[in-house]
Amino acid sequence: MALSWSTSRSRRALLVLLLVLAGCSVRAAAAAADADPASDVLLVQNAFFPYQPSVPPALTKAVDQALTEIHATGLKLKVAIIDSPVDLGGIPELFGQVARYGAFLEREISYQGPQPLLVVMPDGLSLQAAGSASALSGITVDSSRQSAGLARTAVLAVERIAAARGHSITAPSLGGGGAGGGATGPLVAAGALLLLLVVGLFARRHSEHRSGRRVAA
């Protein structure tokens, strides 16, 4: 009887875990299916950051600080940092076409006139409704460290844009910022490990139960 109860409990635990993992997959698929995530985020925030790998907190703070300071000069700039096609949701074909995507995104978020916008992609920078693009001349996008490098490039670009308008903003501390390490990766790995443990427990209990039946017979 004890073996039977343990087996039933293992089955229930396995079912619950599978349902949780399925729910996470559905939510991730829904996010990826968004026509353009940045156009939604930038309606309520000043910056859009990549999903994975995530930008280290110190660098997200540096981007936010740079935007706060340039806003104080009168330019309500927004920034979209795009690290992979996943960040473009339903329009992944625009990845690697920073100029086209920049023009598209600016139209998407312009409701009260032109919206100053900076887009940072591994292939370059796009400046919309924020003065001459010559302000960004000579800036090389740091794509070697994925999203962290793109965020550092964004901070430098915001400083250049402010300087071109005759304003000097305090350079935020960029710290050491690695390549980023979003929470999704570790969570998925932990979930997979837990799933293996549960399946192993179920298989062991099932084997013991069958062995017990054979002995009894």
Residue type at position 113: G
Domain range for 122? 37-164
Please state which of the ranges 20-29, 153-162, 194-203 shows the lowest mean pLDDT: 20-29
**Listed residue (119, 121, 124) closest to 102, CA to CA:** 119
Per-residue model confidence (pLDDT) at position 180: 41
C-alpha–C-alpha distance, residues 217 and 200, integer Å = 26
Per-residue model confidence (pLDDT) at position 111: 86
* Residue 150 counted as domain residue: yes
74 and 135 belong to one structural domain: yes
Cβ neighbour number for residue 190 with a 10 Å cutoff:
10
pLDDT confidence tier of residue 33, bands split at 50, 70 and 90: very low
Report which listed range, 15-24, 115-124, 166-175, 206-215, is most confident.
115-124
189 and 135 belong to one structural domain: no
What is the pTM assigned to this prediction? 0.66
Cβ neighbour number for residue 198 with a 10 Å cutoff:
18
* Residue 170 counted as domain residue: no
Pairwise pLDDT comparison (167 vs 10), residue with the higher score: 167
Per-residue model confidence (pLDDT) at position 143: 85
State how beta strands 124-128 and 117-121 pair.
Answer: antiparallel
Pairwise pLDDT comparison (27 vs 87), residue with the higher score: 87
118 and 19 belong to one structural domain: no
89 and 16 belong to one structural domain: no
CB-CB contact of 47 with 62 (8 Å)? no
Sheet holding 78-81, edge to edge: 47-48, 78-81, 117-121, 124-128
CB-CB contact of 141 with 126 (8 Å)? no
**Residues paired with residue 127 on neighbouring β-strands, in sequence order:** 118
Domain count for the chain, please give it.
2
C-alpha–C-alpha distance, residues 20 and 146, integer Å = 30
Per-residue model confidence (pLDDT) at position 187: 42
* Residue 177 counted as domain residue: no
- Digit-coded pLDDT (tens) for 136-194: 999 999 988 889 999 999 999 999 999 999 999 886 666 544 444 433 334 434 444 45
